Every structure is written in structure tokens, then in C-alpha cells.
Amino acid sequence: MAYDDFKKRIRDDWRDTLRGILTRARSLGPRAVLAFDLDSTLFDNRPRQARILREFGASRSLATLAACEPRHWVTGWDMREAMRACGLDEAQVEAHFPEARRFWVERFFTSDYCVTDVAIEGAAAFTHAVVGTGALLVYVTGRHEGMRQGSVSCMRQHGLAIPDEKQVHLVMKPTLQEDDDAFKREAHAKLGRLGTVVAAFDNEPTHANDYRRKFPEATVIHLATDHSGRPVELLEGIVSVPNFAVDS
């Protein structure tokens, strides 16, 4: 499904759904479990993407790329599209893309660069609201353990609830090489052993669908931000939201 189509799924009462999740979590207290992805769910990583492309442009004396901004990453993860948006023509994009991609891979999945991320609107307050219900908050991310320090630093910088491995957990892939989909399915299975999964939040349709199948009684929230671009339809019952600003 295209990005704009996902945004069309956002209903006017989406804030009521988020408030209802907090109400249910409060009623269950410590037995409640809420799971959150990080990238494009609680964090906007377009500043990280833009920083990397800027640095690549500067290193190759490509002024158009050296001026890259988050707004040039229109639909998330498509670097070619971002390069075009910065001002390169098609021939230039194809000429520079392979090297730019290698440059990106060496930097994107690191603590040093993920600290550039910014929080999605309302994310920090919502994580603290979850903690305030007494529920267990679990960050379930495809980031690997090598990014733990930068991820926690970014959480602290933007005021999110910090993992303490008691009420707030951060579950990460052991290594970068592990498959995201397989890792998340394994993590989902572990969540069910922690308590009653009240809600799960993810921007990736594949992962949201997995939550829906695994926990049919939970409320599954899809963040209509961006995603990997795979042509996956969201299952019935999944609620799309633009952010976490429930009090706006």
C-alpha cells in the first residue's frame, strides 16, 4: 500500500483509541504489556538519513547532496528518491548511488548516528503515560545491540521513558545480520509470556500484521509515517495513527 493510502486510513477518532489503550493498561496494571517499535514509530530517523547523505555529498564535493535535509526523504527509505529530491538528475543518481549506499550502510546502523533521530510528536509523553499506568513497556526494535548506547542516549535526549529492565525493557537484535522479520516474530512470542499484551505499535505493515495475528485481543497501532515500501496490506482491525499527540 502506498504511503498516502496509509494516511487515508487515519480516522478522526484515532486519539480516542490511544486514550482507550491507556485506560485498559491502567485497569490491568503490572499485568499489562505494551510494545513499541523505535524507527518511524517513536523516532523519526529522517534527520539521520539526511546527515549521512550530507556527509557523503561533502566527501564527494556534491553540493546538492551536501545540502540534504530531512524533508528530501519524502517516503522514508528510498535513497534514490532522496537524491532526486536534493537536485540530482537520473544519470547522476545512478552514477553515485552504489557508493552512496555503501557509505550509508557503514553509518546508519550505529550508535554514533542514531543519536541524530528526533522523537515523533507526542512520543515522549505517551511512553511516560504508559509507565504511569503501571504497565510493562517494551521497546521491540530491529536495531542491533551495537546501537543500544546511542538508542538510549537518544531516548534520554528527547525525554522518552528510559529502559531500566524492570518496568521498561529494550529488546534488540543480537547482531546486525539477523533478519528483522524473524527476530520480531520471536520477540512477539516472548511478549506473551510477560503478561497480557494490551497494545503494540509499529510502522511496518508486516510487523503490525504479525502482532495482529499473534495477539488478536490486543489493539494494534500502525504509525502512518513511513515504511520499507513492501506492498503489504494492513489486516482488518489495525488502527493507523499519525503520531502520539493525544492531547492536541
| pLDDT tens-place string over residues 57-98 | 999 999 999 999 999 998 768 899 999 999 999 999 999 999
What average pLDDT does the structure give for the chain? 94
The answer, yes or no, to whether residue 2 has pLDDT greater than 60, is: no
3-44+118-241 under CATH 3.90.1150.10, yes or no: no
Q: In the predicted model, is pLDDT for residue 1 greater than 70?
A: no
Give the helix/strand (H/E) hosting 198.
strand 196-202
Q: How far apart are CA 164 and CA 12, in angstroms?
A: 35
Q: For the residues 182-196, what does the mean pLDDT come to?
A: 92
pLDDT at 5: 67
Name the residue among 238, 231, 243 with its Cα closest to residue 214: 238
Query: Quick one: pLDDT at residue 165?
Result: 87
Q: Looking at per-residue confidence, does 189 or 129 come out higher? A: 129
Contact 198, 25 (CB under 8 A): yes
Query: Which tens digits make up the pLDDT trace of 3-31?
Result: 556 778 899 999 999 999 999 999 999 99
Top pLDDT among 228 and 238 is at: 238
As a whole number, mean pLDDT of residues 128-141 equals: 98
List, for residues 196-217, the tens digit of each pLDDT value. Answer: 999 999 999 999 999 999 999 9
Q: How confident is the model at residue 226 (pLDDT cuts 50, 70, 90)?
A: confident
Give residues with Cβ within 8 angstroms of 180, minimum separation 6.
142, 173
Neighbouring CB atoms inside 10 A of 14's CB total 18
Closest CA to 54 of 77, 89, 82: 82
Instruction: Compute the average pLDDT of residues 40-57.
Output: 97
